[in-house]
Amino acid sequence: MASAEVRDELDCSICLNIFTDPVTLRCGHNFCQICIAQMMDTQDGLGNYSCPECRDKFRERPALMRNITLCKIVRNFLHTEPCKEATKIFCTYCVDSPVPAVKSCLHCEASLCENHLRVHSEDAEHVLSDPSTSLGKRKCSVHKKILEYYCTEDDTCICMSCSLVGEHRGHRVENLYEVSEKKKEKLRSVLRRMTSEIQQVELKKYELSRKMRHLEELCSMSDPVAVLEDPDTCDLYDPVEQGCDENLISHDKTKNLNPAVISGTFHAELLPFLFSKNVDNKIKNETYPQAPAEIILDVTTASNDIHISNDRRTAYRTFTEQNWTEGPERFDYYQVLSTKKFSTGRHYWDVDISGSWVWMVGMCYPSIGRRGTQSIIGGNNKSWGLHGYRGNSRHAVRHNGKVIHLPQMISSAGVRICLDYEAGQLSFYELCDPIRHIYTFIATFTEPLHAVLCVCNGSVRILG
């Protein structure tokens, strides 16, 4: 089997990451130990337990059997393949299987998992920090002690001995972490200023892109009267060649940019800023509707383990069969589509994901398969999805079975989905303050698109 195929087989279907301490259920499916344990915790008291993969039911909570062979495969893979998982920091003391570290002890120069953290956290001498692969750099190269201070005269990090008896004796020193926070605050200020400047540039890009689209429409018109009587023509022409008032666009610094480059890149760059609070309302209204699309869930597509609220906006994961009438449109894997479909225009809607700790939201074609795990959002070439795992950084986007892990976790309760059908763009935003762009898919859509929810636990609600 090719290396890429082997890598795909090492992903946990719950968190979408490479297995961590994999265990096996009686049905034969494998999961990270912590992932399946948390899943089973949510099923306590429901009368039975089920496998997230095949939905095989167990009357009693199944024993989690450690898959020793798979543990070795994962360990060997992490040490031989240059993948992102190889950059994970694992506990120094867990030698039998790779367990992710939650803290590092600077005193011991060791990385620690939850089990080995207790002893180190009880002693003040054991200074803890976030997991790091460069623990040696946190100690003084001369005195071999932990770097705790910053010498403002020499602009360098030093230990206690450096300030008392070393070459920095008598120098002005400050607490290392306090100086770090001061610098980060300055960096945040610079970042805010840069963000503001970028927004202004993006607005100018948007205006030029709008003018270009209008020009293309005029050039395609067969009616000469409509072309000549267009009221906005003068504002679109070059002021030097056409004799228009140069003041109309004299401040447009983007007029000398290559149109071919502009048309190919503007939309992807602009989307993160369209919903910023700092963007003029007029601009927002010209790009997306002021109100969200009316999204209603289609009960005929809901799997038998999904309960739909009376207003048909909330999908609940249930471990009690709903006894829905069987049909070709119904999923067999906790998903549901919207009744509304989109085949043109720009639309957006918001989703409350706070009620679920494992969820997926996105869009798909009506021709998506309805059976098996391949029908899950992003597991095929007919759907695009955002995957979330509450309380963890395991957030990702998926399409056609390919997973892209996101650098930042989603910490707020809501997600916004934006569709520009003609531009072939499906974007996701986190509903925080200010709103944050997460990811944009670029595609050529060939069928109408439906909103789709996948609820592994709890509930997900379409916001009105």
For the segment 402-426, what is each residue's pLDDT rounded down to a tens digit? 888 887 788 888 999 999 999 999 9
Q: What is the mean pLDDT of residues 334-353?
A: 94
- The per-residue pLDDT for 276 is 35
Count CA within 13 A, CB hemisphere, residue 358. Answer: 18
- The per-residue pLDDT for 368 is 95
Give the separation between CA 160 and CA 146, rounded to whole angstroms.
Answer: 8
Q: In this structure, are residues 298 and 364 in contact, taking their beta carbons and an 8 Å threshold?
A: no
> In whole angstroms, what separates CA 399 from the centre of its chain?
13
Q: In this structure, are residues 415 and 401 in contact, taking their beta carbons and an 8 Å threshold?
A: no
Q: In this structure, are residues 415 and 344 in contact, taking their beta carbons and an 8 Å threshold?
A: no
> Which of 129, 24, 104 is CA-nearest to residue 68?
24
Give the separation between CA 83 and CA 18, rounded to whole angstroms.
Answer: 10
What residues contact residue 277 under an 8 Å CB cut-off, 6+ apart?
A: 433, 434, 435
DSSP class per residue in 394-424: --EEEETTEEEE-SS---SSEEEEEEETTTT
- The per-residue pLDDT for 226 is 74
- pLDDT score of 256 more than 70: no
Each residue of 107-117: pLDDT tens digit? 777 788 877 77
- pLDDT score of 358 more than 90: no
Q: Say which CATH topology domain 3-87 has.
A: Herpes Virus-1 (3.30.40)
Q: Which of 33-47, 210-224, 309-323, 355-369 reaches the highest mean pLDDT? A: 355-369
- pLDDT score of 103 more than 90: no
Confidence of residue 144 (pLDDT cuts 50, 70, 90): confident
pLDDT mean across residues, the chain = 77
- The per-residue pLDDT for 238 is 45
CB atoms within 10 A of CB 422: 10
Q: Which of 148-157, 193-202, 219-228, 240-249 reaches the highest mean pLDDT? A: 148-157
> Which of 141, 134, 180 is CA-nearest to residue 162?
141
Q: Which residues pair with 183 in a beta bridge?
A: none
Kind of pairing between the strands at 449-455 and 335-342: antiparallel
- The per-residue pLDDT for 415 is 94
Whose structure tokens read 């190889």?
86
pLDDT-above-90 percentage for the chain: 24
Higher pLDDT, 21 or 216: 21
> In whole angstroms, what separates CA 8 from the centre of its chain?
19
- pLDDT score of 295 more than 70: yes
- pLDDT score of 97 more than 80: no
- The per-residue pLDDT for 186 is 86
Confidence of residue 395 (pLDDT cuts 50, 70, 90): confident
- pLDDT score of 260 more than 50: no
> In whole angstroms, what separates CA 282 from the centre of its chain?
29
Q: Which residues pair with 426 in a beta bridge?
A: 419, 441
Q: What is the mean pLDDT of residues 173-195?
A: 83
Q: What is the mean pLDDT of residues 255-273?
A: 33
* 203 three-state secondary structure: helix
Higher pLDDT, 304 or 193: 304
> Which of 283, 303, 401, 414 is CA-nearest to residue 351?
414
Q: In this structure, are residues 417 and 351 in contact, taking their beta carbons and an 8 Å threshold?
A: yes
* 294 three-state secondary structure: coil
Q: Which two tokens stand for residue 8?
A: 């795909």
The class level of CATH for 299-462 reads: mainly beta
- pLDDT score of 240 more than 60: no
- pLDDT score of 246 more than 60: no
- The per-residue pLDDT for 253 is 33
Q: Which of 26-40, 223-237, 260-274, 335-349 reaches the highest mean pLDDT? A: 335-349
- The per-residue pLDDT for 392 is 62
- The per-residue pLDDT for 80 is 52
Q: In this structure, are residues 288 and 274 in contact, taking their beta carbons and an 8 Å threshold?
A: yes
Looking only at Cα atoms, what is the longest distance across the chain?
Answer: 89
Q: Which two tokens stand for residue 376?
A: 């899950």
- pLDDT score of 232 more than 70: no
